[in-house]
Amino acid sequence: LQTRMQSLQPDPKAQYRSVYEALKKIVLTEGFWRPLRGINVTMLGAGPAHAMYFACYEKMKKSLSDTIQHGGNSHLANGIAGSVATLLHDAVMNPAEVVKQRMQMFNSPYKSVLECVRTVQKTEGFSAFYRSYTTQLTMNIPFQAIHFITYEFMQEQINPHRDYNPRSHIVSGAIAGAVAAAATTPLDVCKTLLNTQENMALTSVNISGHLSGMVNAFKTVYQLGGISGYFRGVQARVIYQMPSTAIAWSVYEFFKYFLTKHKLEKRT
């Protein structure tokens, strides 16, 4: 839904006024499973990407907090650790995101993930899978910095003793995801344009070939939609990120608690 709603020059048959209308229209005209196209490639990359992401975050957060605040909770350390973890995460997830978004576009010519990968590789080269990598980092580094700082801040407020408390992890994760998602929507719109290379959008502003680079994407979005163009799909983005970050943090905190408890029991 987010990919469709961020389309800058959509096909007349793919114009939506709200998240609900978009979902209803896609299911009725393109089938029940259409909104989930490309999810398999995302799931394939998500496991290793998140493993590296949280392992790097924990290690860096501890090291930096010890240096900056002598073992206390440092918001600066949280932000830096989240930013560095993003570099590893996005190196795995960027190609998966490109494939997923191309398969989710209206009238997508690809019938399968493998066909999409082969066609993009053959027609645009391997670099197409990383064309939006710098943009992804430009978006995700501030997103993750805001996300981690907000999560740790919320934990300080509602779970100051840092006990394992599923409700506090879900609430903190959801709020952190919503704040970070809303703040970085303009960057996400640019990333979607770079990933999908919308022909109608690029033709309407006389761009031939492939659009590349954050600066060009920002200019193109402004030419096509003005200031409001940067916030296309903000509602869908927030709705998507809130449960996503809430689930991610609650699962992560559960395994962190479970493994720590298990390790302590083995020692005693």
**What string of pLDDT tens digits covers the 268 residues of the chain?**
555 555 655 655 556 566 667 666 656 665 654 555 556 666 666 778 888 888 889 899 888 988 887 767 788 999 999 999 998 888 888 888 888 777 776 666 677 777 888 888 888 888 888 877 887 788 789 999 999 999 999 999 999 988 999 999 999 999 999 999 999 998 888 877 877 766 666 777 767 667 767 788 888 888 888 888 888 888 888 998 999 999 999 999 998 898 887 666 777 6
Q: What is the pLDDT of residue 228?
A: 87
d(CA 249, CA 236) in angstroms, rounded, equals 20
The answer to whether residue 261 sits within a structural domain is yes
Q: What is the pLDDT of residue 108?
A: 65
The answer to whether residue 42 sits within a structural domain is no
d(CA 243, CA 240) in angstroms, rounded, equals 6
Q: What is the pLDDT of residue 80?
A: 92
Among 51, 109, 114, 60, which Cα is nearest to 84's? 60
d(CA 211, CA 117) in angstroms, rounded, equals 19
d(CA 74, CA 149) in angstroms, rounded, equals 9
d(CA 214, CA 86) in angstroms, rounded, equals 18
Q: What is the pLDDT of residue 245?
A: 94
Contacts of 204 (CB under 8 A, 6+ apart): 9, 224
Residue 261's domain spans which residues?
A: 236-267
Give the long-range contacts of residues 222-225, CB within 8 A, separation 24 or more: 224/8, 224/9, 225/8
The answer to whether residue 254 sits within a structural domain is yes
Domain total in the chain: 2
Q: What is the pLDDT of residue 137?
A: 85
Dihedral sign for Cα atoms in the order 194, 200, 205, 209: positive
Q: What is the pLDDT of residue 206?
A: 67
Cα–Cα–Cα angle for 176, 41, 107, nearest 5°?
100
The answer to whether residue 102 sits within a structural domain is no
The answer to whether residue 32 sits within a structural domain is yes
Q: What is the pLDDT of residue 173?
A: 96
User: What tokens were used for 187?
Assistant: 């960057």
The answer to whether residue 245 sits within a structural domain is yes
For residues 144 and 84, the answer to whether their CB atoms sit within 8 Å is: no
Q: What is the pLDDT of residue 190?
A: 84
Please give the full DSSP string across 112-153, using - where no structure is assigned.
SHHHHHHHHHHHH-GGGGGTTHHHHHHHHHHHHHHHHHHHHH
The answer to whether residue 153 sits within a structural domain is no
Helices (H) and strands (E) in the chain, counts: 11, 0
User: What tokens were used for 180?
Assistant: 């970070």
Q: What is the pLDDT of residue 172?
A: 97
The answer to whether residue 263 sits within a structural domain is yes
